[in-house]
Amino acid sequence: MTIFLAIVVVGLGTYASRAVFILLFANRKIPHTLQSALQYVAPATLSALIVTVLVDDNGQFAVGLAEMTGLGLGALVAYFTRNHLYTLVVAMGSFLTLNALL
């Protein structure tokens, strides 16, 4: 039940963030400060998330050589190909190979 409520709250919040300017501000300008801050939401939050999901159950930042290599190569592939699938294949492939070798 709690989980369902959490999903509904996030759903409503997400809809609100998509709709608010379309519904209310169609004819008005958005404050410049807000507009400029909004573009940093995605990079700042997503990279904070990467760190968060790499913390193991004991609260340790669990990144060894295999993880580092996977993430590093993944970043390069993402930058040059702009393709999620290639990124995933290269990053997972190098991570699993190193994991098996080490």
Q: Report the nearest approach of another protein to the CB of residue 16 (Å).
A: 9
| Residue pair 42/60 in contact by the 8 Å Cβ criterion | no
CB-nearer residue toward another protein: 44 or 65: 44
CA distance 93 to 85: 12
Q: Report the nearest approach of another protein to the CB of residue 102 (Å).
A: 13
CB-nearer residue toward another protein: 40 or 101: 40
Q: Report the nearest approach of another protein to the CB of residue 69 (Å).
A: 12
| Residue pair 66/102 in contact by the 8 Å Cβ criterion | yes
Query: Would you tell me which residues interact with another protein (CB under 8 A)?
Result: 2-4, 6-11, 13-15, 17-23, 25-27, 30, 33, 35-55, 57, 59, 61, 67, 70-71, 74-75, 78-79, 82-85, 87-88, 91-92, 95-96, 99
Q: Report the nearest approach of another protein to the CB of residue 37 (Å).
A: 5
| C-alpha angle 82-67-93 in degrees, rounded to nearest 5 | 60
Which DSSP symbol is given to 58? Answer: T
Token pair listed for 35: 């507009």
Q: Phi and psi dihedrals of 29, rounded to 5?
A: -90, 145
